[in-house]
Chain A
Amino acid sequence: QKEVEQNSGPLSVPEGAIASLNCTYSDRGSQSFFWYRQYSGKSPELIMSIYSNGDKEDGRFTAQLNKASQYVSLLIRDSQPSDSATYLCAGERGYGGSQGNLIFGKGTKLSVKP
């Protein structure tokens, strides 16, 4: 069973701190990974995608991928209360493109305290 695992949290950080969200995956064939943010009662919003080993930065967000360790992470710098949400990690199932092949973790709930 191919899986994406996340710590459910809640992860609580003070405002201005760095929030670190982690995800592991079991399918070594997975090539593409995504982070979604989901506010309570809302739908998931794509915030980062990463396809190759290393870091990818976009504003306050940095995604990191380590395929050897089958590990994906999301760092949020200068965390704001508005970042409080559930963060979903998704990986491609590993046999080619198609969004139907995405496997989602169950999400990590982040709480940023003012």
Chain B
Amino acid sequence: KAGVTQTPRYLIKTRGQQVTLSCSPISGHRSVSWYQQTPGQGLQFLFEYFSETQRNKGNFPGRFSGRQFSNSRSEMNVSTLELGDSALYLCASSTGPENTEAFFGQGTRLTVV
């Protein structure tokens, strides 16, 4: 059974640009969450999607957005990139909102220069 797949694995962008990250959940999983991980702040929750609807959102500025498609795949977008957005972005999937057991993808390492 394939795990959570995130693409791309690595990205280098310049300040002011925007970026889109993709996440394909485990087959049969319908809930997808996104996290930002930095050495100083640890794992910080960005948002969660289920059935194409955002169910929860963390404390991040509006430059961070996401969406989920009918096949449960999800994308997150960051606009007007800042140096502080450099981080490992992780996607996690679970079967649904009734289940908090989450499985992570390999992450996308974003570097903003």
* Interface segment, one of A14-22, A62-70, A102-110: A102-110
Flag if A98 contacts B101 (CB, 8 Å).
no
Q: Which residue on A lies nearest to B35, using beta carbons? A: A104
Flag if A100 contacts B42 (CB, 8 Å).
no
- Tell me the smallest distance from the CB of B1 to a CB of chain A, in Å: 14
Out of A43, A45, A46, A107, name the residue touching B42 (CB < 8 Å): A107
Flag if A44 contacts B94 (CB, 8 Å).
no
A101 at the interface (CB under 8 A from B): yes
- How far is it, in angstroms, between the C-alpha of A100 and the C-alpha of B47 when the chains are bound? 7
Flag if A43 contacts B106 (CB, 8 Å).
yes
A residues 70-114 touching B (CB-CB < 8 Å): 88, 90, 92, 96-107
In the complex with contacts A98-B48, A99-B31, A32-B42 CB distance below 8 A:
no
B90 at the interface (CB under 8 A from A): yes
Give the total of B residues in contact with A, Cβ under 8 Å: 26
Flag if B104 contacts A43 (CB, 8 Å).
yes
- Interface of B, secondary structure class, is strand
User: Which interface class (under 10, 10 to 19, 20 to 34, 35 or more) fits A?
Assistant: 20 to 34
Among A32, A98, A101, max chain B CB count under 10 A is at A98
- How far is it, in angstroms, between the C-alpha of A90 and the C-alpha of B94 when the chains are bound? 15
Flag if B104 contacts A44 (CB, 8 Å).
yes
In the complex with contacts A43-B90, A44-B90, A99-B42 CB distance below 8 A:
no
Flag if B100 contacts A98 (CB, 8 Å).
yes
In the complex with contacts A100-B33, A100-B56, A46-B103 CB distance below 8 A:
yes
Hey, which bits of chain B sit against chain A, CB under 8 A?
31, 33, 35, 42-43, 45, 47-48, 50, 55-56, 88, 90, 92, 94, 97-107
Hey, which bits of chain A sit against chain B, CB under 8 A?
32, 34, 36, 42-46, 49, 88, 90, 92, 96-107
